Structure 1
Amino acid sequence: MSDDSEESAGPVPSLSRLRLDTLLRELVVRAEDLLDTQSRLHRLLDAVVSMASDLSLPDTLRRIVELSAELAGARYAALGVIGPERLLVEFITVGLDTQTRVAIGDPPHGKGILGLLINEPKPIRLHDLGEHPESYGFPPNHPPMTSFLGVPIRVRGTVFGNLYLTEKRGGEDFSEEDEDVVIALAAAAAIAIENARLFEQTHRREQWLAASTEVTDRLLQGADFTETSGLIVAKAVEIGQADAGFLLLRGEGEPQDDPRLTVRAAFGDGAHHFLGASYTVPSARTALFAGDGSPFRFDGGGAHPFVPRDPAPVPDRFLGPGAIVPLAAGGRVFGVISVARVEGRATLSDADTRMLHAFAGQAALALEFSRAASDRQRLAVFEDRDRIARDLHDLIIQRLFAVGLGLQGVSTMAGRPEVTDKLNGFVDDLDDTIRDVRKTIFSLQEPVERPSGLRGEVLRVVSGSAETLGFEPRLHLVGPIDSAVPDAVRPDLLAVLGEALTNVARHARASSAEVELSVDVGSGRVTLVVTDDGVGPGADDTPGHGTVNMASRAHRYGGDCTFEPQAERGARLCWSVPLRPGS
């Protein structure tokens, strides 16, 4: 019996050792898995710390792609940023060299498997990309890719983009552990992206505030509108990371609903070609001018946001994405700032558009303040000029007139004719002086920028001729010139005056000239006489083209024009037309 017992008990130790070896092997495998998991966790923690240390958004995005490829053991990795149209607006890759990227061409827009992850933002693992029904294929020169792992990145509940990993090293498929690690990395990446975004927005906001302060400081220091408007556009382009910017303004005094705008300042390569061009705001964009105005963002695609007014050029180079914000102050919109990027660049973000709108509001207030200060200065000048004119009229002219009357009285008591003639000459000189003072009074009462009325226009033409003549002609204005001369006659009268003074400068070789414009209401005529002390026309001279034109302008209204030499020297032009043309 003992032998039988020994035989039956013999195999037991061998079976126990076999089970022990199996358990030991399983324990070793699990230990290795544990070590591998622990290593991955350490690398994941290192990755999180690495991402959190960088506040630059572009650098953060590239770092996320590199870490995901490293943690999942992928040969190729990419991060696609999703834009407003649910297409990829940015595609950051790792594993492809520059030559391969150039050979592939444009980055993907979000079709096929990439689009599936956009439309259904949840993790996806594939053994072979080409076998999936949503597969869109690869472009020419694209390296082969089979295994695939895709994981969305959510920032504050919104899908920011997707991580794409392909070609697991060793030819294996991506495992569930790979997916878990990349999901954890994506969660940490979302926090890093949000931090980088907030930092970037804060930095950009500081730039906008600094630009607003610089514009305001320039205006407060007395910089003119042209210089400051150029600075406004340049800052808008710089901080908005645009390629060109334009400042478009309404004309002075135009109504609030007028859709016409003119380019007053431009910045960017080739943007200066559009200075002075006029455009019309389409009816679909009239919200720009409603109340304080609403910003408008456009995505490009070759469509210009304004309608060019012939012959305004179309800025073909700047038909990419951009934004238009109103320049509004005190409930009134007097223009817009437009920034644009070249076609193919990313659309301006909501944050950029909001900050550009705020910058435009600050710039508008600064411009309005500058205009108000300029108006106050102009008003002070006008008041001072008006006071001087009143003093000249009430004091100086009256005294000169009294002196003239006194000299006339003295001349009647003078016994000798030569004394009488001398006194009468002094009286004539005083009359001329009074006329000159009256002309000065009138010029002081005219606006500086644009003389109003026919008197002011005549004065401007006569004063403007001094540069070509070498002297300023004497001007005599007699009668109700502003009120009596018809509007239809005025352009021709001014043209004749300009032509006559030009002829004196070209042909007369004169040292002095006189212009007299008189209105005789009794005879119903306006007469312009221009005389000089030059060489005068010869007896055999043929009237030139300018003289013929002057005569034609007189005959048009039933008037006449004569041009003849004076008795001693020089020439005399007399141009006279009725106050009622045709009478």
Structure 2
Amino acid sequence: MKRARTRSGSGGADSGPRLPLLLEAVLGIGTDLELRSGLQHVVDTATELIGTRYGALGVVDLERGGLTELFTSGMSDTERHRVGRLPDGHTGLLGALVDEAAPIRLDDLTTDPRSCGMPPGHPRMRSFLGVPVELDGEVFGNLYLTEKRTGSFTEQDQSLLRVLAAQAAGAIGTARLYGTARQRERWIEGAAAVTTALLTGRNAVDALVTVAESARVLADAFAGVVLQPTEEGGMEIVAASTVDDPGDIVGTTIEPGSPVLVQLLGGEPVFIEDSSTDPRMTTHVRSRFGPSMMLPLQSGGKLIGTLALPRRRGGRPYRGVDRLLATQFASQAALALVLADSQHDREQLAVFEDRDRIARDLHDLVVQRLFATEMMLESTRRRVAGTGLDELIGRAVDELDSTIQEVRTTIFALQQPPADGPTSVRGKVLRETGGAAVLLGFRPSVRFTGPVDTLVGEPAGQELLGALRGALAAAHRRTGVTSIEVEVDATARLAGDRDGVRLTVRDDGPRDDGPRDDASGEDGGDGARGTTVTWEAPR
């Protein structure tokens, strides 16, 4: 073997002694499971087999052209550093190898009109032998040698190099097919996992974050964001997953009429090479992103949102297979979101129906029986007046009256949504009055004074809601009530010149006869009709 390698550097007129080395190289390429080391082995073998000072193998981007990787032999680390960036692969002899897909053999490359010269710091080169790395008519790159140590390149050198190039092409093609298949498998598994997660009962926000995070990981993106249409006709980022803190991404809005938005509303995906420079991008966060995909989430031909997958500025561009798989994932995710939303609605409907049934049972059975018992006790109290038992029966009647009010308050609470409710005091007050409308037959009017959500804290807010429920239940108990006014004043001045919050509930029903318990906060008012309930507390 050593003898064959020595003769390979003496000109290579006889291919016989070089055959073992060639077979060894071919066998090495076929058994090396790591593509990069296999291609480097091709270059090293080619320079040794044919006897040259330098060798290189360039891998071409099939979609955009140009070289994505360059494996070299014979150059020191210092020389590589001096050369700098990769050749573009479009021009010069390297571009000709790809475009013409034919071998090029030259004694002096500087005299060929296709040569575009050497970059500063590049080693001096004259003789040149290059062949395309081609398989089934598809060019994956180029393999070339320069500076043969003795003599000129021969036909046999060219034939040997073409054999190595063919093996390299097979290795690249197989690796890319395997990579694509593995990538497709990952996206399919990811889509299935997202669907399973969404159908396990996630709430709306968690569902969107799940889609954004899964897509970000699968696409190897810097961020995954979900946008939803706004009432103004634009789109707003409502969920985000990033490598680091999402920061100010959530809440970013695409204004109506944006070119990107027009394309998305038409159901077309948007693929962007550089978000920071693309004129279609108008958001303030675009400067930090580079290649990006914006994929419509559609259901029944209606746009329900957009999945955006930006990479860092200067990041590698998305390939065609990336775009295809991400688009398919977006379609699956949109369907999963719709199914999860429908399932959530069905579950909520079942809860509402059950709560309505309980409320009806309490109202129609329990309350009526309590009323009947109260009337019986009232009748008994009149009969035993003056015997000492009337006071005891009177306390029992008061207890029943209090119990009836508590049951009515519970009935109102059962009319409210059990989950996903508003978190602000203002929203909770509106929810209570909206739920009361079911039993009252009309919706109470509500007025807020001052920044309620900012000034009213959690303890005071909970007490306020309890007082509101009690007041609404008491109003429902009275006959003839046709309107109720609710006012929440977050800037009220209480006794002692303290800052506080005041709740006032007025109705137009007949005024209750007799004095009220001070703890109820009710007073008869000055007119013949109407009852006012007032509750207040420090903020």
**TM-score for both structures, normalised by structure 1:** 0.68
Q: Distance in 2 between matches of 1:33 and 1:179?
A: 13
Task: Indicate the SS of the match to 2:448.
Answer: helix
Query: Hey, what does 1:490 align to over in structure 2?
Result: 447
Task: Indicate the SS of the match to 1:138.
Answer: coil
1:403 corresponds to 2:360: no
1:90 corresponds to 2:50: no
Conserved in 1, the CA contact under 8 Å of 2:444 and 2:486?
Answer: no
Query: Hey, what does 1:416 align to over in structure 2?
Result: 386
Query: Hey, what does 2:17 align to over in structure 1?
Result: 39
Query: Hey, what does 1:16 align to over in structure 2?
Result: none
Counterparts of residues 539-578 of structure 1 (less than 5 Å): 541=496, 543-544=497-498
Deviation, 1:409, is 1.9
Conserved in 2, the CA contact under 8 Å of 1:226 and 1:265?
Answer: no
Any unmatched runs of 5+ in structure 1? Answer: 1-28, 463-475, 507-511, 531-535, 555-565
RMSD between superposed Cα atoms in Å: 4.9
Task: Indicate the SS of the match to 2:69.
Answer: strand
Q: Distance in 1 between matches of 2:456 and 2:482?
A: 26
Q: Distance in 2 between matches of 1:498 and 1:35?
A: 94
Q: Distance in 1 between matches of 2:49 and 2:521?
A: 100
Counterparts of residues 20-35 of structure 1 (less than 5 Å): none
Q: Distance in 1 between matches of 2:77 and 2:264?
A: 44
* Post-superposition CA distance 1:538-567 (Å, at most 9, x none): xxx4x35658xx79x99xxxxxxxxxxx99
Distance change (3 Å), C-alpha of 1:526 and 1:74: same
> % of aligned pairs identical?
34
Query: Hey, what does 1:141 align to over in structure 2?
Result: 121
1:264 corresponds to 2:239: yes
Q: Distance in 1 between matches of 2:482 and 2:442?
A: 17
Deviation, 1:501, is 9.7
Q: Distance in 1 between matches of 2:18 and 2:180?
A: 34
**TM-score for both structures, normalised by structure 2:** 0.73
Q: Distance in 2 between matches of 1:92 and 1:432?
A: 88
Deviation, 1:442, is 1.8
Query: Hey, what does 2:39 align to over in structure 1?
Result: 61
Work out which of the residue numbers 123, 133, 143 in structure 2 matches 1:153. Answer: 133
Q: Distance in 1 between matches of 2:487 and 2:213?
A: 51
Q: Distance in 2 between matches of 1:330 and 1:228?
A: 20
1:107 corresponds to 2:82: no
Query: Hey, what does 1:560 align to over in structure 2?
Result: none
Task: Indicate the SS of the match to 2:14.
Answer: helix
Query: Hey, what does 1:445 align to over in structure 2?
Result: 415
Distance change (3 Å), C-alpha of 1:155 and 1:355: farther
Distance change (3 Å), C-alpha of 1:95 and 1:286: farther
Task: Indicate the SS of the match to 1:274.
Answer: coil
Q: Distance in 1 between matches of 2:304 and 2:242?
A: 20
1:197 corresponds to 2:190: no
1:299 corresponds to 2:279: no
Conserved in 2, the CA contact under 8 Å of 1:262 and 1:276?
Answer: yes
Distance change (3 Å), C-alpha of 1:403 and 1:214: same
* Post-superposition CA distance 1:227-271 (Å, at most 9, x none): 66555544434443x2423130426xx79x955142413132444
> Aligned letter for 1:389?
A
1:314 corresponds to 2:292: no
Q: Distance in 2 between matches of 1:138 and 1:96?
A: 15
Task: Indicate the SS of the match to 2:70.
Answer: strand
Task: Indicate the SS of the match to 1:80.
Answer: strand
> Aligned letter for 2:107?
H
Query: Hey, what does 1:163 align to over in structure 2?
Result: 143
Task: Indicate the SS of the match to 1:383.
Answer: helix
Work out which of the residue numbers 206, 223, 230 in structure 1 matches 2:185. Answer: 206
Conserved in 1, the CA contact under 8 Å of 2:377 and 2:393?
Answer: yes
> Aligned letter for 2:87?
P
Conserved in 2, the CA contact under 8 Å of 1:529 and 1:574?
Answer: no
Conserved in 1, the CA contact under 8 Å of 2:135 and 2:169?
Answer: yes
Q: Distance in 2 between matches of 1:206 and 1:502?
A: 52
Aligned residues: 491
Query: Hey, what does 1:360 align to over in structure 2?
Result: 330
Q: Which has more radius of gyration? A: 1
> Aligned letter for 2:178?
F
Conserved in 2, the CA contact under 8 Å of 1:261 and 1:335?
Answer: no
Q: Distance in 1 between matches of 2:217 and 2:459?
A: 49
Q: Distance in 2 between matches of 1:160 and 1:207?
A: 25
Query: Hey, what does 2:510 align to over in structure 1?
Result: none
Query: Hey, what does 1:79 align to over in structure 2?
Result: 57
Query: Hey, what does 1:379 align to over in structure 2?
Result: 349
Deviation, 1:52, is 2.7
Between 300-309 and 497-506, the greater mean CA deviation after superposition: 497-506
Counterparts of residues 328-343 of structure 1 (less than 5 Å): 328-329=298-299, 331-343=301-313
> Aligned letter for 2:28?
S
Task: Indicate the SS of the match to 2:237.
Answer: strand
Distance change (3 Å), C-alpha of 1:528 and 1:265: closer
Task: Indicate the SS of the match to 1:145.
Answer: coil
